[in-house]
């Protein structure tokens, strides 16, 4: 399969390595320094684009790929408030689009466990719930897309909280997500239920970016030849 990368930072390099290991061809590797090459990415030379950039660049890249009938896998977070606009584009251009807040297989298992855990803990209101996410200092959005997905999964199954917040709140119905930016941490997410006698904690800790990159390449392989919007 012929893959082009929009975004060739640390994640892009990891994706490149996985793609080559899986016998794919890397056609273009475009970053901020050579973004003028983006118009060279065409459906004639690229089967799928994998996009890992920044929130302010993602919408432009998504629209470009859909307009030019290039399937796109998007791993950038921080743009989901514009998802309805993207859905309109996918329909308008009969496009192929795959997005996720996190492409790691382990994190997606964590999402499922988190929802089940919330459903069980909803029967025990004596426990309070807190969340924390830790990432490297270069991550622009906070809370992370992964943390928001975890929070959304909790809110669907846990009646003790009404909404998530990114700042401490006096309202006990608010689910506070603490965001920490430090060093080169790939990503750590923790969901913690606590009362005065004990606590129960779920944590996913990424050792490296390899899991995210592997999942993104799998998504690209799956998307090839399909139409619509997927996650």
**β 96-99/228-230 pair status:** parallel
Beta partners for 177? 131
**Burial status of residue 187 (CB atoms within 10 A of its CB: 0-12, 13-18, 19 or more):** buried
**β 199-205/188-194 pair status:** antiparallel
Which residue in 139, 161, 189, 204 is the catalytic one? Answer: 139
Q: How many angstroms separate the CA atoms of 19 and 197, rounded?
A: 49
Q: What is the 3-state secondary structure (H, E, C) of 167-202?
A: CCCCCCCEEEEEEEECCCCCCEEEEEEECCCCEEEE
Nearest in space to 28 (alpha carbons), one of 79, 70, 78: 70
Q: How many angstroms separate the CA atoms of 184 and 86, rounded?
A: 31
207 catalytic? Reply is: no
Which residue in 24, 69, 135, 189 is the catalytic one? Answer: 135
139 catalytic? Reply is: yes
Could you list the active site residues? 135, 139
């Amino acid at each position: 399969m012929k893959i082009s990368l929009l975004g060739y930072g640390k994640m892009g390099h990891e994706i490149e390595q996985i793609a080559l290991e899986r016998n794919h061809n890397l056609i273009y590797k475009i970053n901020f320094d050579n973004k003028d090459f983006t118009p060279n990415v065409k459906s004639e030379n690229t089967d799928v684009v994998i996009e890992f950039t920044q929130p302010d660049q993602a919408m432009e890249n998504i629209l470009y790929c859909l307009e030019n009938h290039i399937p796109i896998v998007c791993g950038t977070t921080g743009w989901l408030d514009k998802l309805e606009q993207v859905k309109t584009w996918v329909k308008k251009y009969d496009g192929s689009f795959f997005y996720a807040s996190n492409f790691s297989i382990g994190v997606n298992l964590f999402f499922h466990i988190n929802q089940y855990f919330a459903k069980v803990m909803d029967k025990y209101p004596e426990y309070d719930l807190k969340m924390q996410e830790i990432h490297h200092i270069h991550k622009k959005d906070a809370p992370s897309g992964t943390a928001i997905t975890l929070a959304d999964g909790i809110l669907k199954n846990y009646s003790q909280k009404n909404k998530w917040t990114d700042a401490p709140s006096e309202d006990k119905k608010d689910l506070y997500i603490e965001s920490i930016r430090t060093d080169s941490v790939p990503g750590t997410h923790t969901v913690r239920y606590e009362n005065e006698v004990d606590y129960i904690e779920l944590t996913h800790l990424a050792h490296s970016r390899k899991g995210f990159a592997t999942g993104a390449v799998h998504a690209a392989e799956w998307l090839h030849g399909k139409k619509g919007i997927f996650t």
